[in-house]
Amino acid sequence: MEALLANVVWADIAQALLDTLIMLGGSLAFSVILGLPLGVILFLTAPRQLLANRAANAALSFTVNVLRSVPFVILLIVMIPLTVLLVGTSLGVAGAIPPLVVGAAPFYARLVETALREVDRGVIEAAQAMGATPRQIVFGALLPEAMPGILAGATVTAIALVSYTAMAGVVGAGGLGDLAIRFGYQRFQTDVMVVTVLMLLALVQGLQWAGDRLVIKVSRR
């Protein structure tokens, strides 16, 4: 055992795990807080929807596409001035969260938009026929009906963020992925690589399992 995991420093691994979890939790929370309303607005302003608005929809859609087409590593770097403005530093765990959010929120917004499109048009029409306002339709009908898709989208986003966090090592954010790259890959410490990758795998498995459970819990179809 000792020889097998000679290079593994468990304290470092624990620290890396903690860093990953903080980055993941923080960036997922902000991605949902920003992505959910963005997805709702994308849906509502689309042609033939409740608040159809061609110009607003085109502008938002274009912005989302721009952000989604920039490779994450480049986003990390070009965002440095904005990151400093937002969190006071461009380094470490805190410095990684703004670019993670800017990378993931538009992605999540698209997943939310797709989930909302799946909602039966008849249900929206029934709510309109009752005299519901757009706000009442969104909160009383659309979001509850789309909840399974919205939660499944959050799961996909969380897992995508796990792999983004690995790249956040570029700004010295640490985390499991960073450990795997720096020690496991660059210094040929295969045992460190295996341990960190296994932990990442466990994390992804756990997220998927928890997400699936949540989706089942809210599905009533």
Partner 1 sequence: MISFQAVGKTFPRAPSPALKDVSLEVRPGEVFGVIGQSGAGKSTLIRLINGLERPSVGRVVTDDDDVGALDAAALRALRRRVGMIFQHFNLLSSKTVAANVAYPLKVAGMPSSAIGPRVAELLDLVGLADQAAKYPAQLSGGQKQRVGIARALANGPKILLCDEATSALDPQTTEQILDLLAQLNRELGLTIVLITHEMEVIRRVCHRVAVLDAGSVVESGEVAEVFLHPTHQVTRRLVADAAGLAAAKIEGGPPTLRLTFRGQATFEPILGRIARDTGVDYSILAGRIDRIRDEPYGQLLVSLVGGDVAAARARLTAAGVRLEEA
Listing DSSP states for 19-51 in one string gives HHHHHHHHHHHHHHHHHHHHHHHHHHHSTTSTT
Q: Give 147 or 156: the residue with its C-beta nearer to partner 1.
A: 147
Spatial contact of 28 and 162, defined as CB atoms under 8 Å apart: no
Q: How far is the CB of 35 from partner 1 (least distance, A)?
A: 21
Q: Give 71 or 122: the residue with its C-beta nearer to partner 1.
A: 122
Q: Return the range that interacts with partner 1 (CB under 8 A); candidates 73-81, 119-127, 158-166, 189-197.
A: 119-127
Q: Return the range that interacts with partner 1 (CB under 8 A); candidates 31-39, 116-124, 162-170, 209-217.
A: 116-124
Spatial contact of 171 and 97, defined as CB atoms under 8 Å apart: no
Q: How far is the CB of 139 from partner 1 (least distance, A)?
A: 10
The residue within the footprint of partner 1, chosen from 14, 125, 213, 216 (CB under 8 A), is 125
The residue within the footprint of partner 1, chosen from 14, 65, 66, 120 (CB under 8 A), is 120
Q: Give 120 or 212: the residue with its C-beta nearer to partner 1.
A: 120
Tokens of 30: 């902000």
Spatial contact of 195 and 115, defined as CB atoms under 8 Å apart: no
Residue 170 as a binder of partner 1 (CB under 8 A): the answer is no
The residue within the footprint of partner 1, chosen from 144, 191, 194, 199 (CB under 8 A), is 144
Contacts of 152 (CB under 8 A, 6+ apart): 111, 115, 211, 215
Separation of alpha carbons 132 and 125, rounded Å: 10
Residue 123 as a binder of partner 1 (CB under 8 A): the answer is yes
Span 189-218, contacts to partner 1 by CB under 8 A = 218
Q: Give 87 or 132: the residue with its C-beta nearer to partner 1.
A: 132
Q: Return the range that interacts with partner 1 (CB under 8 A); candidates 28-36, 72-80, 120-128, 169-177.
A: 120-128
Separation of alpha carbons 135 and 139, rounded Å: 6
Q: Coil, helix or strand for 172?
A: coil
The counts of H helices and E strands in the chain are 10, 0
The residue within the footprint of partner 1, chosen from 136, 170, 199, 214 (CB under 8 A), is 136
Spatial contact of 79 and 102, defined as CB atoms under 8 Å apart: yes
Separation of alpha carbons 107 and 12, rounded Å: 32
Residue 51 as a binder of partner 1 (CB under 8 A): the answer is no
Q: Coil, helix or strand for 5?
A: coil
- Return residues touching partner 1 (CB under 8 A): 120, 122-123, 125-133, 136, 140-141, 144-145, 147, 218, 220-221
